[in-house]
């Protein structure tokens, strides 16, 4: 079974924000069709971010809608592994 998610501005993403530089934000995971789906994946996305960069423990994580048609960093890296 193949799950296809339409990427559009109505999808949710997990965003990492640098605590000392709030303008530094990184879309780490997504798209998710609902806020609940992103919430369910939040802990796993943070764990994966920590595996990529140990300084990710210092970031603040939120779930929000992002006007983007690009996948999150974790999905992008997974597709190139």
Supply the Cα-derived Rg of the chain in whole angstroms: 12
What are φ and ψ of residue 47, in 5° steps?
-60, -40
Segments making up each domain of the chain, as ranges: 12-67
Q: What is the pLDDT of residue 63?
A: 94
> Is 60 exceeded by the pLDDT of residue 78?
no
Q: Tally DSSP H helices, then E strands, for the chain.
A: 2, 3
pLDDT digits (tens, 9 = 90+) for 23-47: 888 888 888 888 999 999 999 999 9
pLDDT digits (tens, 9 = 90+) for 42-58: 999 999 989 988 988 99
Is this structure's pTM higher than 0.95? no
């Amino acid at each position: 079974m193949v799950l296809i998610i339409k990427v559009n501005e109505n999808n949710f993403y997990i965003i990492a924000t640098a605590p000392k530089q709030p303008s530094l934000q990184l879309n780490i995971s997504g798209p998710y069709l609902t806020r609940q789906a992103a919430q369910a994946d939040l802990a796993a996305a943070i764990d994966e971010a920590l595996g990529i960069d140990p300084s990710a423990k210092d970031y603040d994580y939120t779930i929000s809608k992002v006007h983007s048609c690009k996948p999150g960093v974790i999905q992008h890296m997974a597709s190139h592994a």
